[in-house]
Structure 1
Amino acid sequence: MKNLVGILLIGAAIALWWLSRGEANSRADSSAAGTPIVVPQPKPATPAAASEPSGTVAHAQNAEPTAAALALEIEQALREGSAAKRDRALYVLMPRLVASDPSMATQLALTREAGLLREELLRQLVRSWVLRDTQSALKWLTSLPEPADRDLAGAAAIDYLAQNDPASAIELSLLLGLGTRDGSVEHKVQLWTEQKPEEAVAWALARPAGAERDQLLARIAYVRAQQDPVEAGLLVLEQMTPGAARDDAIISVIHQWAMRDPATAASWVARFPPSPLQTRALAELETTAKQAPKQPINSSSPFPAN
């Protein structure tokens, strides 16, 4: 009997333990089910992060506008009439357009209606183009069909070239026939001779003999006579074609020489054979003697007889 009671007590204890274990598991499951699972979410992209890399953005902001965009901006600026915008179009945007697309720049200038703005566009076009590609610019302007456009563009190129390349400026003047009647070509030759006489003389002597070269040599001799009349006289006598132009150049040299050294100038003139030229030369000496200060006599002459 005692054994039976013991067995019943043990069974009851086991049953109570089993029931208490089930409740604990049930509470654990309920607690787990009531707690939400938090899944980390990526942070939303900021505007800076969503944009392109900073280097790419900076490059895009600083990129040079296309030729078409530059041409459109020039047209708009000229159309609005503001002096500031017009100057920017002419002196800032036009050179940039020439650098980007010379063909589009020429089209923009040539298709504009006649007037001062068109002329200034052509000038800026030529100056900018000559600076970047002289040969292409000169080839284009010499092929212009309209004489007025060709002369205007040529004058702009000549003025620009004269600053650093007087030989090209003078040659272009002669090619286009600009400045050959008003003394502009001779003036450029004179300035060049004053600055770099050896270059000017060598360039002139390399040109084909004829009236054009004689005209250039006469101006060079006039300039050189003020510093070295011996050189000037020999240049005229030995390099110029005999005739009226050479006679005029000789008289010019005599005048410059007599102002510096009348005795030596007179000695040279005395070697001339009797002729109308000698008569003119003697008259020039007499006239100059009234103007020039007294100089010591130098009886020797470095010149050959004419």
Structure 2
Amino acid sequence: MRITVSLAALIAVFTAVSAARFSDTSDEDEPHPQPVARVPAPVHSPMMQRAPSANEIASAAQERNRQLNLAIERALVSRDLQHRETAFNFVLPELLREEPNRVIAMVARQEPGETRDALRDEVARQWITMDRDAAIEWMSSLEPADRRTSATIATRTLAATNPAQAIAVADQFGVGRDDGSLEHMVQIWATEKPDEAMRWLEEQPPGEQRTGQLRARIEHARSR
């Protein structure tokens, strides 16, 4: 959108400059009996308009965020999966950055079902990488089933970029231990980045049972 607006503005400027040059050329080719006096710009010229106030800027931002919210909700009820994917990939992260409380309220308004689950999962997946603390606070406020599902998605998302944080989130919400997924993630981490995994292991308190389970996986991966 910003690229489109910038391009449109550039075209407008280019057109204005071209028109001015054409006008100058025509003036040179056609002699005039008398020079035409230039009329000074009026006082109310757009160039002299006042800057918007802080309230006007805030109001415009609120309206923009409201439109983003509506775009996501329309995509949720649309049968066009590409429409929903576009809203999730481009509109949702923008609204999470600008006004996450709108997103929280939007999730809460959804009726139980596929649509609500899809939105909840996408918020967990995106927000945990954008603002981990805020995402954790939101997930903690959810009902137990929603909390567990969103925490599992958040853990899997973090595992791709920051396994140490993934472990912390998993343990905070009590996910990933009962099904072996956390140990599996740690083993992959130790195989691909053994030094990083060992540094994390060395920083853990000695004798902790939860760490012991993951230690075995890391040592097994290093021994292979």
Q: TM-score, normalised by structure 2?
A: 0.67
Q: 1:208 to 1:123 in 2, by over 3 A?
A: farther
Mark the CA change 1:194 to 1:51 in structure 2 (over 3 Å): closer, same or farther: farther
Amino acid at match of 1:113: E
Identity %: 34
Match of 1:152 in 2: 149
Counterpart of 1:203 in structure 2 is 200
Aligned equivalents of 2:45, 2:130: Cα separation in 1: 38
RMSD over aligned CA atoms reads 3.0
For 1:66, what is the secondary structure of its paired residue? helix
Q: Relative contact order, CA 8 A, sep 6+: which one is greater?
A: 2
| 1:184 CA displacement | 0.7
User: What is the 5 A alignment of 1:155-170?
Assistant: 155-170=152-167
What is the deviation of 1:83?
2.6
CA distances 1:255-306 after superposition (whole Å, capped 9, x unpaired): xxxxxxxxxxxxxxxxxxxxxxxxxxxxxxxxxxxxxxxxxxxxxxxxxxxx
The residue number in structure 2 matching 1:85 is 83
Contact 2:152 2:176 in 1 (8 A): no
Q: CA deviation at 1:139?
A: 2.6
Give, in whole Å, the separation in 1 of the partners of 2:146 and 2:166: 18
| Cα distance in 2 between the residues matched to 1:51 and 1:160 | 53
Q: Distance in 2 between matches of 1:130 and 1:66?
A: 24
- Relative to structure 1, the CA distance from residue 68 to residue 208 in structure 2 (aligned partners, 3 Å threshold; closer, same or farther) is farther
2:110 to 109, 112, 115: 112
Larger radius of gyration: 1
- The 3-state SS of whatever aligns with 1:181 is coil
Alignment partner of 2:136 out of 127, 135, 138: 138
After superposition, the C-alpha distances for 1:22-70 in whole angstroms (9 at most, x for unaligned) are xxxxxxxxxxxxxxxxxxxxx9xxxxxx9956xx9xxxxxx97621111
Say whether residues 1:121 and 2:119 are aligned partners: yes
Q: State the 1:199 CA deviation.
A: 2.4
Q: Distance in 2 between matches of 1:207 and 1:107?
A: 39
User: In the alignment, which residue of structure 1 is the partner of 2:56?
Assistant: none
**How far apart in 1 are the matches of 2:223 and 2:85?**
46
How far 1:88 sits from its partner (Å)?
2.3
Deviations 1:80-137 (A, max 9, x none): 4333322222222212211111111111012201122212211221233223222221
Superposed displacement of residue 148, structure 1: 1.4
- Give the 3 Å change call, closer, same or farther, for CA 52–113 of structure 1 in structure 2: farther
- Give the conservation status (yes or no) of the 8 Å contact 1:119–1:152: no
Question: What one-letter code is carried by the residue in structure 2 that aligns with 1:121?
Answer: L
Matched residue, 2:98: 100
Partner of 1:174: 171
Aligned amino acid, residue 75 of structure 2: A
Within the candidate set 180, 183, 203, 1:183 is matched to: 180
Matches within 5 A, 1:251-290: none
- Aligned residues of 1:110 and 1:122 also touching (Cα < 8 A): no
Structure 1: which 5+ residue stretches go unaligned? Answer: 1-42, 44-49, 57-62, 227-306
